[in-house]
Chains A and B, each alone.
Chain A
Amino acid sequence: MAAESMSVSANRSNPGGGTKRPLSDLQEKDQLSVFENAAVDEDAGDLTDSEESLFSGLEDSGSDSSDGDDEEEDEEGEDDDDSGVEEKDEKKFSKWDVKMREVARKKEGESNGKLAGSDCSVRPEQTGLTPPGDEYEEDTSDEEDIRNTVGNIPMEWYQDYPHIGYDLDGKKIYKPIRNKDELDEFLDKMENPDYWRTIPDKMTGTEIRLTDEQIDLIHRIQKGQYGDAKFNPYEPSIDFFTHETMIHPVTNHPAHKRSFIPSLVEKDKVSKLVNAIKQGWIKPRKPRDDTPHYYDLWAKEDPNAILGRHKMHVPAPKMKLPGHEESYNPPPEYLLTEEERLAWEQQEPEERKLNFLPQKFTSLRAVPAFSRFIHERFERCLDLYLCPRQRKMRVNVDPEDLIPKLPKPKDLQPFPTTQALVYTGHTNLVRCISVSPSGQWLASGSDDCTIKFWEVSTGRCMRTIEVEGIVRSIAWNPNPVYCLVALTVDRSVVLVNPCLGDKLLYNTTDQLIASFVKPEEEPVQPVEWSAAEGDSFDNGLRLIIKHNKMVKQVTWHGKGDYLATVIPDNGNAQVLIHQLSKRRSQNPFRKNKGMVQCVLFHPIRPFFFVATQRYVRVYNLLKQELTKKLMANCKWVSSMAIHPAGDNVICGSYDSRLAWFDMDLSTKPYKVLRHHKRALRGVAFHKHYPLFASASDDGTVIVCHGMVYSDLLQNPLIVPVKLLKGHEITRDLGVLDVTFHPTQPWLFSSGADGTIRLYT
């Protein structure tokens, strides 16, 4: 009953008469329950009982005459559809109907009886109504559905077939031809006054018009009333056994003998127990004492005892003691301001520095209980048994002790300390500078396509020569006999005679260049030598060495006859060495490994340094072999300088490191200095003083004392002595080049701000 009433109550919200769908739904369910009684039998017995009763009510209430009407109507409606089958069907239907009615009547009696039984009363009138005879005459599930013999199967299985089952003779029952479309349906709905009470029968495919009684039954069920209108649930109850005491007993057996003879078995047991007690085998149970008993546990304690388990037991650390801010009446500075409080509230509970909000109460009686007290204790418990413990050695170091003891910069003087002069005039970044070997002149090349010659001591620009491109590198001939400056302009190297200083000197230089006699058979050269003529000669240009590609760097050999150029994009001929006196060029390497960043000649010995991105290779020019490969430990070497003694090399790199190699020591850096914050652009050694400097994009030049001892056992001493600032950072570039004065402890630096500065 439960399931049924549930579905009914669910549908109760819709009034039955208004729409067709819910009603038909309901009806369908009812029908199904009628046909599928056997299936439902699986469920509890109660359910089937109730269903039977329901079913009985449904059928019983219908009168014969109305049923007949129903059939007639059906006949009329489906007459035009045809056929003989239909007729047969109909007969069967009527037969079935009659049978059902009989069964129903029987069952109604049963169910009534059952209902009454639940009231513990007997209803003689009702029992009288049940027809006599065998109850089980037709109570088989097979016979309940006699028109269609497919049995208890979901009717969807026949969806795709033209028939919906088989009749008793084994002939197919065809589906009625459905030619009703929406319109017909609508018209039917409008015109047929019984439309709302007609529902399709799935089993037979016909439409059934519900009788008044059936509808009445549905209504009653929907209202939660009994299916049978005549059923009176409030019958006067009649006790089966009367409550009055009767003079005669219900049964009149005499009492059995066992009931008044003492049990021998019991006697045996008792005597055994008594014996056991007498013998002292069984003792009365002592009352249990749950109160703990304490005594002097540490009466015999061993002061040397360590915790038995292991030696490294770490006792639990104590809880942190509370500070002023935890007081109920703290000093006002410990209370949080509004912003601090908000910040505190927004923090994650784990991140908070204090796990409570400091509060102030005017008196002790105003202090409430702390809501997280139990939590805190619990967390402590968790810490005690879940947290790994570890002895942590707290570093108790005076930070001053960590600072290495270095010789005082004062004792390492002289070194440049203050900015003395600013050479202004360039309009774009000054990429390179070079000082004449005499120390009187300074040459600078800039992105504004000019080179300028300055007098060092006054800061006056002596000459400005315009060239055809950006000057990337400039180098004064180190030989004091020559007065010649080499510079790179785009694809060519230009040798310029600045015509400064001693007239005799620069004239001899010109003569030397002019005295060149072309050899008889012209060698095949990778570059093109040409002498400058005309205007360019007047400007000071003397020789032009044209390369195939852009030239990045030019550098002189110490004697001033050879010069090396770096052409980074030139395949295997990235480095070329030119001889000035013979105007000859050659490619020293058959194959180049990596992109060459810069090259250098050894100041004394016939070595040649080639810096690629990560390594510095040292070649012996005489033996024509690789002697050493220095690992720079950095990503990209930017610049390189060599100590005048020739055994130490420094490398600046774009990852802001400066590596000092002691070539006698190892091929790895002796020291890596990370003084700068940005990429290093230039490094330089002083010729005489133990100084070196590094220029960086962070706008600073750091001067270091780099003492190299002649004693081979003593390692070089490196002490930073001065941080020089002055250049402004423009376009993310700071100081681009740095060089020392050849004789004085002075330092020149050129920056992206278009200035050259002298520090003394």
Chain B
Amino acid sequence: MGGLEKKKHERGAATNYITRNKARKKLQLSLADFRRLCILKGIYPHEPKHKKKVNKGSTAPRTFYLIKDIRFLLHEPIVNKFRDYKVFVRKLRKAYGKAEWGAVEKLKDNKPVYKLDHIVKERYPTFIDALRDLDDALSMCFLFATFPRTGRCHVQTIQLCRRLTVEFMNFTIASRSLRKVFLSIKGIYYQAEILGQLITWIVPYSFAHDHPTDVDYRVMATFTEFFTTLLGFVNFRLYQSLNLLYPPKLESGLQQDDDEKYAMDSESYMEKLAALGSSLARVVPSSEEDDVALDEFPADEENAMLLEEKQKEQQMLEKQKKLFEGMKFFLNREVPRESLAFVIRCLGGEVSWDKSLCIGASYPVTDETITHQIVDRPNLNKQLINRYYVQPQWVFDCVNAKTLLPVEDYFLGVNLPPHLSPFVEEKDGDYVPPEKLKLLAIQRGEDTYENQTESEEDEQSAEESEEEEDEDMDETEKQDEERLKNMEAEKVKNKQLNVKVTAGTVKVENKTEVSQREQAEEKRLAIMMMKKREKYLYNKIMFGKKRKVREKNKLAAKRKAHDDILKAEKKKSKKIKSQ
């Protein structure tokens, strides 16, 4: 037959993808610039379904981008800016080389800059999209805000990160949108709910980083460049949504400050803002928050349950938002001030700290109205009667439990109860640590006192049961002895008579057991008839399930062993006491 010969790799999947090197050549960018562009524009490689086809028959490992993505990059204004920058650097180097300092100055003044506004808009067409992707931006900015002002990256970036994170924290306080906090060994996780989106970020503990050498800071800096832009715009919008002034202004003493120190440096103002101590100024001073009451719809029975549940949840949420309202906290200097102040203020509490610790302390230690003092040391010499001295974990646990937990467990020098992750939602079949069960009971409204008595009872009953066990042991021993005797007798009999017809015993079979066994066999036989592919899938699922169960059992066993050891120790100490 006639016709043109079909060439390979000129149609189909091969035309949809482009390798990284080719893309780079097409864009005429260096690898570093290409990387930057991809980061800024949010372009990621794609894994083709048939790698060999796309790779023109070769199986060499290559990164592929969608050709559409690369075409889309072609008319990106930033690419030109990158090229301009390259030229700028070249000129600058030349000027330095020739020692033309005037030219250097002039060049530096005309340094090409680019803005990422349009990229943010393009990547996140709606505000909700931006919020959804805020996790990484926040975590990164919080990390960069803790970097030292020397070396690693530009001071401006660090300052900007700090500013933006402080703004965001202030917004969270103002909107009371913090939901969960978790003290992990990596850092502190926060989760806020903003416009229905759950945003989680992690803040490292405030220590100096030992900067690793195997990390490419340029990549991180490029990300941060984008993230700061994103976070800035998000902050602006968020502040606007709450009628807050942007850039943020502190509410109280706004005029005074202006009057007294007009030329007050922005830095100390910034610090005051960062202290998170006082609330922000609004555009329209509104004292009352206008809560929109949920309209009650006439619901049919099915929905009624759901609605009720929803209402309950809503109530819970409201309660959580006002958890610390009317309470006055004082932070000792050894506790992490920023995170605690942030959390407490988010739930409506008042907070202060030592004046020498940070700017913005509103009341001293000696204030009589303080209800809780957060202390993280084994004991305190001078303690006042009218306030609780609690460890910082209490605050975080309260946030997660959405109620005020009994303070007794968190007093100074007390062994703290485990700090559980609020992000874990156990499904049935998962392992639930006993502390979580207790917490759930508290949340359901069962009295904690009962629990305590129960636990005591448990102990008692445990002791009793142990006694019983002893008895049981006796019994079992007796049984064993009898069995042994019987066996011996049988042996003797056997020796006496080689052949004997013994009366058969009626085997009583448990009916349910039999039926179960039958069912199990049926299932086994049915499994045999499965198709190969289905069988594979089935085996995989079952393997996963079994592993889960195994893990759960392992955890439970570990816990039990631990509890047993504790109990034994307790008993021992009791005995010693009684002696």
Which A residues are within 8 Å of any B CB, using their own CB?
285, 288, 290, 292, 294-298, 301-303, 305-310, 315-316, 318-319, 321-324, 326-334, 337, 356, 358-359, 361-365, 367-378, 380-382, 384-390, 395, 397, 399, 402-404, 406, 408-409, 673-675, 702, 718-723
User: Inside 8 A of B236's CB, which chain A residues have their CB?
Assistant: 294-297
Max chain B Cβ within 10 angstroms of own Cβ: one of A337, A381, A382, A721: A381
Is the beta-carbon distance between A327 and B559 smaller than 8 angstroms? Answer: no
Is the beta-carbon distance between B526 and A403 smaller than 8 angstroms? Answer: yes
User: Inside 8 A of B334's CB, which chain A residues have their CB?
Assistant: 365
- By beta carbon, the residue of chain A nearest B393 is A364
User: Inside 8 A of A374's CB, which chain B residues have their CB?
Assistant: 143, 209, 211-212, 215
Closest 5 CB pairs of A and B: A369-B207, A321-B423, A305-B125, A388-B47, A333-B559
Is the beta-carbon distance between A308 and B143 smaller than 8 angstroms? Answer: no
User: Inside 8 A of B200's CB, which chain A residues have their CB?
Assistant: 318-319, 321
Is the beta-carbon distance between A404 and B184 smaller than 8 angstroms? Answer: no
User: How many angstroms between the C-alpha atoms of A651 and B479 in the bound complex?
Assistant: 55
**CB < 8 Å neighbour of B183 from A328, A371, A406:** A328
Tell me which residues from 414 to 468 in chain B have a Cβ below 8 Å from any Cβ of chain A: 415-416, 418-421, 423-424, 433-435
User: How many angstroms between the C-alpha atoms of A372 and B237 in the bound complex?
Assistant: 34
CB of B187 within 8 Å of the partner chain: yes
Tell me which residues from 554 to 572 in chain B have a Cβ below 8 Å from any Cβ of chain A: 555-556, 558-559, 562
CB contact under 8 A between A378 and B125, given known A297-B117, A399-B541 = no
Q: List 12 A-B contacts (CB under 8 A).
A: A292-B160, A292-B228, A318-B200, A321-B421, A331-B433, A356-B186, A364-B183, A365-B377, A373-B143, A378-B215, A384-B39, A387-B45
Question: How distant is B413 from chain A, measured CB to nearest CB, in Å?
Answer: 9
CB contact under 8 A between A356 and B555, given known A310-B68, A329-B419, A388-B47 = no
Is the beta-carbon distance between B237 and A297 smaller than 8 angstroms? Answer: yes
For this complex, into which size category does the number of interface residues on chain B fall? 35 or more
Is the beta-carbon distance between A327 and B136 smaller than 8 angstroms? Answer: no
CB of B305 within 8 Å of the partner chain: no
User: How many angstroms between the C-alpha atoms of A675 and B526 in the bound complex?
Assistant: 11
Max chain B Cβ within 10 angstroms of own Cβ: one of A298, A308, A404: A298
Is the beta-carbon distance between B435 and A331 smaller than 8 angstroms? Answer: yes
Question: How distant is A102 from chain B, measured CB to nearest CB, in Å?
Answer: 51
Is the beta-carbon distance between A364 and B68 smaller than 8 angstroms? Answer: no
User: Inside 8 A of A389's CB, which chain B residues have their CB?
Assistant: 44, 46
User: Inside 8 A of A388's CB, which chain B residues have their CB?
Assistant: 44-47, 63-64
**CB < 8 Å neighbour of A403 from B35, B130, B133, B523:** B523
Is the beta-carbon distance between B45 and A386 smaller than 8 angstroms? Answer: yes
- By beta carbon, the residue of chain B nearest A369 is B207
CB contact under 8 A between A327 and B185, given known A315-B133, A371-B210 = yes
CB of B123 within 8 Å of the partner chain: yes
CB of B182 within 8 Å of the partner chain: yes
User: Inside 8 A of B85's CB, which chain A residues have their CB?
Assistant: none
Is the beta-carbon distance between B423 and A381 smaller than 8 angstroms? Answer: no
CB of B135 within 8 Å of the partner chain: yes
Tell me which residues from 59 to 109 in chain B have a Cβ below 8 Å from any Cβ of chain A: 63-64, 66, 68-69, 72, 109
User: How many angstroms between the C-alpha atoms of A395 and B184 in the bound complex?
Assistant: 32
**CB < 8 Å neighbour of B219 from A334, A382, A719:** A382
- By beta carbon, the residue of chain A nearest B109 is A285
Question: How distant is B165 from chain A, measured CB to nearest CB, in Å?
Answer: 14
Is the beta-carbon distance between B136 and A384 smaller than 8 angstroms? Answer: yes
- By beta carbon, the residue of chain A nearest B39 is A385
User: How many angstroms between the C-alpha atoms of A321 and B69 in the bound complex?
Assistant: 31
User: Inside 8 A of A308's CB, which chain B residues have their CB?
Assistant: 72, 122, 125
Is the beta-carbon distance between A306 and B125 smaller than 8 angstroms? Answer: yes
User: How many angstroms between the C-alpha atoms of A324 and B130 in the bound complex?
Assistant: 29
Question: How distant is B222 from chain A, measured CB to nearest CB, in Å?
Answer: 9
User: Inside 8 A of B327's CB, which chain A residues have their CB?
Assistant: none
Is the beta-carbon distance between A292 and B44 smaller than 8 angstroms? Answer: no
Task: Report B360-399 CB contacts with A as 1/0, cut-off 8 Å.
Answer: 0000000000000000110000000000000111000000
Is the beta-carbon distance between B126 and A303 smaller than 8 angstroms? Answer: yes
- By beta carbon, the residue of chain A nearest B48 is A388
User: How many angstroms between the C-alpha atoms of A323 and B334 in the bound complex?
Assistant: 27
CB contact under 8 A between A384 and B44, given known A305-B126, A333-B562, A373-B204 = yes
Q: Is the interface of A mostly helix, strand, loop or mixed?
A: loop
User: Inside 8 A of B558's CB, which chain A residues have their CB?
Assistant: 332-333, 337
Is the beta-carbon distance between A334 and B555 smaller than 8 angstroms? Answer: yes
Tell me which residues from 4 to 53 in chain B have a Cβ below 8 Å from any Cβ of chain A: 35, 38-39, 42-47
Is the beta-carbon distance between A403 and B538 smaller than 8 angstroms? Answer: yes
Is the beta-carbon distance between A370 and B204 smaller than 8 angstroms? Answer: yes
CB contact under 8 A between A301 and B139, given known A318-B200, A356-B185, A365-B376 = no
**CB < 8 Å neighbour of B156 from A290, A301, A674, A718:** A290
User: How many angstroms between the C-alpha atoms of A318 and B131 in the bound complex?
Assistant: 12
Question: How distant is B520 from chain A, measured CB to nearest CB, in Å?
Answer: 11
CB contact under 8 A between A324 and B522, given known A329-B393, A329-B416 = no
User: Inside 8 A of B376's CB, which chain A residues have their CB?
Assistant: 363-365
Is the beta-carbon distance between A378 and B160 smaller than 8 angstroms? Answer: no
CB of B528 within 8 Å of the partner chain: yes
Question: How distant is A536 from chain B, measured CB to nearest CB, in Å?
Answer: 38
User: How many angstroms between the C-alpha atoms of A309 and B136 in the bound complex?
Assistant: 22
Is the beta-carbon distance between B132 and A327 smaller than 8 angstroms? Answer: no
Question: How distant is B455 from chain A, measured CB to nearest CB, in Å?
Answer: 16
CB contact under 8 A between A364 and B534, given known A297-B120, A308-B122, A323-B423 = no
CB of B527 within 8 Å of the partner chain: yes
Question: How distant is B230 from chain A, measured CB to nearest CB, in Å?
Answer: 9
Question: How distant is B473 from chain A, measured CB to nearest CB, in Å?
Answer: 28
- By beta carbon, the residue of chain B nearest A330 is B418
Question: How distant is B576 from chain A, measured CB to nearest CB, in Å?
Answer: 24
Is the beta-carbon distance between B121 and A297 smaller than 8 angstroms? Answer: yes
**CB < 8 Å neighbour of A363 from B160, B223, B416, B525:** B416
CB contact under 8 A between A378 and B237, given known A316-B133, A327-B182 = no
Is the beta-carbon distance between B223 and A327 smaller than 8 angstroms? Answer: no
Max chain B Cβ within 10 angstroms of own Cβ: one of A376, A674, A718: A376
Is the beta-carbon distance between A364 and B391 smaller than 8 angstroms? Answer: yes
- By beta carbon, the residue of chain A nearest B555 is A333
Question: How distant is B318 from chain A, measured CB to nearest CB, in Å?
Answer: 24
A329-B393, A332-B562, A381-B140 given; name 20 further pairs at CB < 8 Å. Answer: A292-B232, A308-B125, A310-B69, A324-B424, A326-B182, A326-B186, A329-B419, A330-B420, A334-B433, A337-B558, A358-B185, A364-B393, A368-B207, A373-B143, A375-B214, A381-B219, A386-B63, A403-B526, A403-B538, A722-B525
CB of B530 within 8 Å of the partner chain: yes
- By beta carbon, the residue of chain A nearest B233 is A297
Question: How distant is B307 from chain A, measured CB to nearest CB, in Å?
Answer: 27
User: How many angstroms between the C-alpha atoms of A294 and B537 in the bound complex?
Assistant: 52
User: Inside 8 A of A294's CB, which chain B residues have their CB?
Assistant: 232-233, 235-236, 246
User: Inside 8 A of B522's CB, which chain A residues have their CB?
Assistant: 408-409
CB of B283 within 8 Å of the partner chain: no
Is the beta-carbon distance between B130 and A328 smaller than 8 angstroms? Answer: no
Is the beta-carbon distance between B336 and A364 smaller than 8 angstroms? Answer: yes
Is the beta-carbon distance between B229 and A292 smaller than 8 angstroms? Answer: yes
Task: Report B239-256 CB contacts with A as 1/0, cut-off 8 Å.
Answer: 010000010000000000
CB contact under 8 A between A327 and B421, given known A285-B109, A292-B229, A301-B125 = yes
